[in-house]
Structure 1
Amino acid sequence: MPNDFNQPVIEEFRANHGRVGGWFEGARLLLLTTTGARSGKPHTTPVGYLPDGDRVLVIASAAGAPKHPAWYHNLLANPRVTVESGVFTYEADATVLRGEERDRAFARAVESDPGWAEYQAKTDRVIPVVALTEVPGPPNINAKSMGEAIKVVHDAFRHELALIRKEIAESGTAGGLATQLRVNCLTVCQGLHNHHTGEDTMLFPMLGERYPELAPVMDRLKREHERIAALLAALKEVVSDTEAEPGHVLAEVERLTDELEAHLTYEEEQLLPVLDAATA
């Protein structure tokens, strides 16, 4: 069972699609469920994470305690875990990073938040970094209707872009872009590309067939997808430049955010009532 500190966080996380207040407010947080190494029972723990392309990284810091956290020992014994992102729940395979790969990942974490270095300085153990890679399978969206599913996915993109804008602004607008910030930008670009591809190839054709009167809406949304794709390409090009200045990247992120917010708002206004009625 979760401990007394974790349980309220877990409940708030699940009730609000990953949003929590207090100590973890505004953080990238997931719920990690491992299988007890001794008990064989599931144990759920809120942990911070770092985007890393098609996987996420979690760090077994235990706030610099002398011993690894229990969840780390659990996944060593049973590397198949369950991840809750607030939007999706999925099975994942846990891999402990070793050697240079671990050191590079931890350095990225420290560059984005010096608190990780403070934790390492407090302990004699080498703080582990663990990659969680999703096991292929149908997505499990934490929503009760198709309309709610679209809304929670949209809100996840809004949240991530807000975090990225905040992180870039706090890093200053001169000097090179931090490596983890570059990864964060590229990860959200890929996520948006995948989301819009899914809509273009599955959701929109299905709606167009069932609701011919939505044809003008579908046409507009597809055109907006094309404009957003161009903005994603521009952001990826800027971010891929290792000498890109944060101020330049921030300008591209804000351009994308403005266009995307208008698109998401229109899509929600036009499609959510239809989708909710279809699944009522």
Structure 2
Amino acid sequence: MDYMTTAADLHGPAHVERYLETDGEDGYYWRKGTTTLLLFTKGRKSGQTRTHALIFRPWGDSYLVVASKGGADQPPAWFRNLEADSDVEVQIKGDRFRARARVATAEEKPAMWAEMASVWPDYENYQTRTSREIPVVVLERVR
């Protein structure tokens, strides 16, 4: 593997591959000072494991991610997958664990959205591009 390019330069499957190869040593830190986790969902149609690198923030004992898809009118496939099956796996650096995903409640969302937008201000722009309310997803570790 050519490590002249860092995972910060990568997106999608290439980012995921580098993250997995290095247990996040290359890939955890991403663009503009953000950090990423890997989210493993089960394909709602295929049943195959799907893996996505997503910007995240810790929130108490949970973790937050945003289902923005850059402000597209349709949610990302990973979000549709977790709507069908909320049992997921998460990897943060070398720590991989089971989690349950849920959408932030109306009461929770403003503070959670503000936290996520503070680390990735583009989320605010994404929301202006669509009439779809972009959800904040809470990933709760299964003990």
Shorter chain as normaliser: what TM range? 0.7 to 0.9
Which entry has the higher C-alpha Rg, 1 or 2? 1
Counterpart selection for 2:21 from 15, 18, 23 = 15
What RMSD, in angstroms, separates the aligned Cα atoms of the two structures? 1.8
- Distance in 1, matches of 2:37 and 2:98, equals 13
Q: 2:12 aligns with which of 6, 23, 26?
A: 6
Corresponding residue number in structure 2 for 1:96: 103
* Structure 2 partner of 1:248: none
Q: Does 1:67 align with 2:74?
A: yes
After TM superposition, give the deviation of residue 97 of structure 1 in Å.
Answer: 0.9
What is residue 50 of structure 1 aligned with on the other side?
A: 57
3-state SS in 1 of match to 2:64:
strand
Give the Cα separation in 1 of the matches to 2:134 and 2:77: 13
Kept after mapping to 1: 8 A contact 2:64/2:137: yes
Matched residues, number: 131
State the shift of 1:8 in Å: 1.4
What is the aligned partner in structure 2 of residue 278 from structure 1? none
* In structure 2, C-alpha distance between the alignment counterparts of 1:44 and 1:108, rounded to whole Å: 24
| Residue 52 of structure 1: how far off its partner (Å) | 0.5
Q: Work out whether residues 35 and 55 of structure 2, in 8 Å CA contact, stay in contact via their aligned partners in 1.
A: yes
Relative to structure 1, the CA distance from residue 108 to residue 7 in structure 2 (aligned partners, 3 Å threshold; closer, same or farther) is closer
Shift of 1:63: 1.1
**In the TM superposition, what whole-angstrom CA distance separates every residue of 1:90-139 from its partner, at most 9, and x where no partner exists?**
00000111212122211222234321111111111100111101111xxx
The structure with the largest helix share of the pair is 1
| Alignment partners' CA distance in 2, 1:132 and 1:93 | 6
In structure 2, give the amino acid aligned to 1:10: V
Q: Matches of 1:54 and 1:37 in 2, distance apart? A: 27
Q: Paired residue for 2:136?
A: 129
Q: Aligned-pair distance for 1:27?
A: 2.5
**Structure 1 residue 27 corresponds to structure 2 residue 4:** no
- Which ranges of 4 or more aligned residues in structure 1 deviate by more than 6 Å? none
| CA drift at 1:38 | 1.4
1:119 equivalent in alignment to 2:126 = yes
What residue in structure 1 maps to residue 7 of structure 2? none
2:34/2:119 contact within 8 Å kept: no
More strand by share: 2
Instruction: Return the alpha-carbon distance in structure 1 between the equivalents of residues 43 and 58 of structure 2.
Output: 26
- Residues 66, 116 of structure 2: 8 Å contact kept: no
Q: CA deviation at 1:53?
A: 1.5
**C-alpha distance in structure 2 between counterparts of 1:11 and 1:107, whole Å:** 30
**Structure-1 separation of matches of 2:93 and 2:25:** 7
Alignment of 1:123-202 (within 5 A): 123-136=130-143
- Segments of structure 2 that go 5 or more residues without pairing to the other structure are 1-10
